[in-house]
């Protein structure tokens, strides 16, 4: 099995490729990254071109975890990429997407205006041109994927209902107002030393969009990987407890939720997994200054007797400096190889 975390800026785009029990190669995509600049042509598009060039392969399943632009913006770019879109043949692709009849903020734009038309375009395209599954929740349980297994850990039905209600209200608001404000960027926490963090402190926040994220435990042969998108920790904690009777779940890799945000991690969540490898889809240069160093320190504190490996999708002056003030030699930050833009795992 090959898993590629595509460089999507501070966004998610993942490609899973494996040999199924039907002796065929299967491709699963998770999200599509942001729409910004060169992220689509240099990231998602190149991955899609590679699948198309295989001739006998196509995208079997595309999981749209939730409606934030840094997860589906690249797919909106694809819908305008007529040449590649025609080659992909998405009529054979099944989509997991918890959608509503209402619109949301997404689409190609050069300002912060919201557009009902752009949001409707994505949903309507999938309904008309692919196989669309409207509701994926924890009630879906474990789903067989050609011999691999996906156990849905988030969202629960309550999370989805809250999203749909917000979606409905948002479109009503858009009818009278077409502007929104960007979140102000703060200062990152990379200058704080490890010993100066209070890792017992928990941060609470709630976003209907993030809480609706599709997250799942993916199992293939002897490998187990937890894909979390932007899931909120409470639902993950409940699902993991139910999954293994409250005992830690053994994982080969875990994707830290919401690009390593301190608001999407809990000490209890870290106690419910046994893992040495933590993946973070982030670039440091974003309004929320993700990943938060505090999240990584919590991981280290939760695993005092393990050698932890952090894998970050983009290496730059910020992500490479997270632990510079600590002068420690045993903190393992891993990035894409110098000649690659993506994190690649052959499992």
Q: What is the CATH number of the domain that holds 119?
A: 3.60.15.10
- Cα–Cα distance, 94 to 248 (Å, whole number): 32
Task: State the residue for tokens 């102000």.
Answer: 184
Please give the pLDDT value at position 264.
96
Please give the pLDDT value at position 160.
80
Cross-strand partners of 261: none
- Its pTM stands at 0.90
C-beta atoms surrounding 311 within 10 Å: 20
- Cα–Cα distance, 142 to 152 (Å, whole number): 6
Please give the pLDDT value at position 178.
36
- Cα–Cα distance, 41 to 28 (Å, whole number): 19
Please give the pLDDT value at position 67.
77
- Cα–Cα distance, 322 to 300 (Å, whole number): 14
Environment class of 21 (CB within 10 Å of its CB; exposed 0-12, middle 13-18, buried 19+)? exposed
Q: What is the mean pLDDT of each run of 10 residues along the chain (347 residues)?
A: 93 97 97 86 94 92 87 88 92 87 42 41 82 88 98 91 70 42 64 96 85 94 96 95 94 97 97 97 90 97 95 94 87 90 94
User: Could you list the residue range(s) of the whole structural domain that residue 165 is in?
Assistant: 2-346
- Cα–Cα distance, 106 to 125 (Å, whole number): 15
How many angstroms separate the Cα of 310 from the Cα of each of 184, 212, 244, 265, 343?
A: 27, 26, 25, 15, 11
How many angstroms separate the Cα of 130 from the Cα of each of 28, 62, 90, 110?
A: 15, 10, 6, 29
Contacts of 137 (CB under 8 A, 6+ apart): 98, 152, 155, 156, 157, 159, 160
**H runs (alpha helix) in the chain:** 39, 45-53, 69-79, 82-88, 116-129, 157-174, 208-211, 233-243, 267-271, 293-302
How many angstroms separate the Cα of 13 from the Cα of each of 71, 198, 255, 278?
A: 7, 32, 12, 16
Please give the pLDDT value at position 169.
65
What's the token pair of residue 92? Answer: 């054979």
Please give the helix or strand (H or E) that residue 104 lies within, else none. Answer: none
Closest CA to 211 of 145, 165, 170: 165
Asked if omega into 291 is within 30° of 0 (cis), the reply is: yes
Task: Provide the domain count of the chain.
Answer: 1
Please give the pLDDT value at position 114.
34
């Amino acid at each position: 099995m090959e898993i590629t975390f595509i460089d999507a800026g501070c966004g998610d785009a993942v490609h899973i490729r494996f040999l199924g029990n039907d002796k065929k190669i299967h491709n699963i995509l998770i999200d599509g990254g942001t729409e910004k600049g060169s992220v689509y042509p240099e990231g998602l598009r190149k991955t899609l071109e590679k699948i198309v060039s295989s001739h006998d392969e196509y995208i079997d399943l595309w999981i749209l975890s939730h409606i934030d632009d840094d997860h589906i913006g690249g797919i909106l770019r694809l819908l305008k990429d007529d040449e590649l879109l025609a080659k992909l043949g998405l009529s054979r692709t099944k989509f997991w997407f918890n959608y509503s009849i209402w619109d949301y903020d997404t689409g190609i734009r050069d300002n912060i205006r919201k557009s009902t038309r752009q949001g409707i375009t994505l949903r309507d395209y999938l309904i008309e041109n692919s196989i669309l599954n409207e509701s994926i929740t924890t009630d879906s349980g474990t789903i067989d994927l050609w011999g691999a297994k996906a156990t849905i850990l988030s969202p629960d039905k309550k999370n989805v209902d809250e999203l749909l209600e917000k979606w409905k209200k948002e479109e009503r608001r858009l009818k009278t107002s077409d502007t929104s404000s960007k979140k102000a960027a703060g200062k990152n926490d990379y200058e704080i030393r490890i010993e100066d963090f209070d890792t017992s402190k928990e941060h609470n926040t709630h976003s209907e969009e993030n809480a609706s994220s599709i997250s799942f435990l993916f199992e293939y042969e002897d490998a187990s990987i937890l894909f979390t998108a932007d899931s909120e920790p409470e639902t993950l904690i409940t699902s993991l407890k139910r999954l293994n009777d409250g005992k830690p779940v053994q994982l080969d890799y875990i994707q830290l939720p919401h690009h390593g945000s301190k608001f999407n991690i809990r000490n209890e969540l870290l106690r419910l997994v046994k893992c040495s490898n933590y993946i973070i889809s982030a670039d440091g240069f974003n309004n929320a200054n993700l990943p938060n160093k505090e999240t990584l320190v919590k991981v280290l504190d939760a695993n005092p007797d393990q050698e932890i490996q952090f894998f970050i999708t983009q290496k730059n002056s910020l992500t490479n400096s997270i632990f510079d003030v600590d002068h420690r030699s045993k903190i393992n930050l891993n990035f894409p190889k110098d000649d690659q833009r993506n994190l690649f795992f052959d499992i």
